[in-house]
């Protein structure tokens, strides 16, 4: 990664494999570096296999609800399309991961900085405060409908590098991102 880049962004169409790519990058880097953060997973119905929501899963396998199609407290929940967003549950799991400073942390992983996650103003503020303080690997929407100021800021920042993935370039981009992150992170904090 060229000097000055502190944030690597991965973008692409829904379902192209951004989360899978982030997992593979973390698998490569965790041998030598401490990676902390979360990924967002689809939740599917056992009966129909249709998507019914999303969960947030930390890199240490702690899990919380991010959004569901139906919920008991539907009136009090933030809404995004057909989903109710569990902002409090999301914040309880994710905000401690964003605590700074953390000298043991080499890389902060955020999958993703999108409309659901940004329903939490506390999350938006925490990420904004970390942008220049820790190296970040994050996924962002390819195109945003609506006003996602933090995503726009990150995409246009001179300290960010954006990789757009497709089904054809995932493996090549993975190697390039790992190489960039290793250069940025420098000497490993974990003994190999």
pLDDT in tens, 33-42: 989 999 999 9
Across 5-9, average pLDDT = 90
Q: Map out the domains of the chain with their CATH numbers.
A: 7-40+96-185 (3.40.50.300)
- For β-strands 83-85 and 78-80, DSSP reports them as antiparallel
Confidence label for 1 from pLDDT (cuts 50, 70 and 90): very low
Other C-beta atoms lying within 10 Å of the C-beta of residue 26 = 21
> What is the Cα–Cα distance from 186 to 157, expressed in whole angstroms?
22
CB 98 within 8 A of CB 130: yes
Q: Give the residue from 54, 114, 113, 59 showing the smallest Cα distance to 89.
A: 54
What DSSP designation does 175 have? H
Contacts of 9 (CB under 8 A, 6+ apart): 138, 139, 140, 154, 155, 160, 161, 162, 163
Q: Give the residue from 95, 66, 62, 92 showing the smallest Cα distance to 78.
A: 66
pTM: 0.89
Across 84-109, average pLDDT = 84
Residue 159 has pLDDT above 70, yes or no: yes
Residue 182 has pLDDT above 80, yes or no: yes
CB 9 within 8 A of CB 135: no
């Amino acid at each position: 990664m060229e000097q000055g880049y502190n944030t690597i962004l991965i973008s692409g169409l829904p379902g192209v494999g951004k989360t899978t790519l982030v997992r593979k990058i973390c698998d490569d880097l965790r041998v030598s570096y401490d990676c902390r953060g979360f990924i967002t997973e689809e939740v599917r119905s056992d009966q129909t296999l249709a998507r019914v929501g999303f969960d947030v899963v930390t890199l240490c396998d702690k899990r919380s609800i991010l959004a569901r199609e139906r919920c008991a407290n539907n009136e009090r929940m933030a809404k995004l399309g057909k989903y109710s967003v569990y902002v409090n549950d999301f914040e309880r799991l994710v905000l401690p991961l964003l605590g700074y400073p953390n000298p043991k942390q080499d890389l902060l992983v955020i999958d993703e900085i999108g409309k659901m996650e940004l329903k939490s103003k506390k999350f938006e503020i925490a990420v904004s405060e970390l942008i220049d303080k820790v190296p970040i690997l994050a996924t962002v929407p390819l195109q945003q409908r609506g006003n996602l100021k933090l995503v726009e800021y990150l995409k246009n920042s001179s300290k960010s590098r954006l990789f757009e993935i497709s089904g054809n370039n995932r493996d090549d981009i993975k190697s390039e991102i790992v190489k960039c992150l290793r250069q940025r992170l420098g000497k490993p904090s974990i003994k190999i």
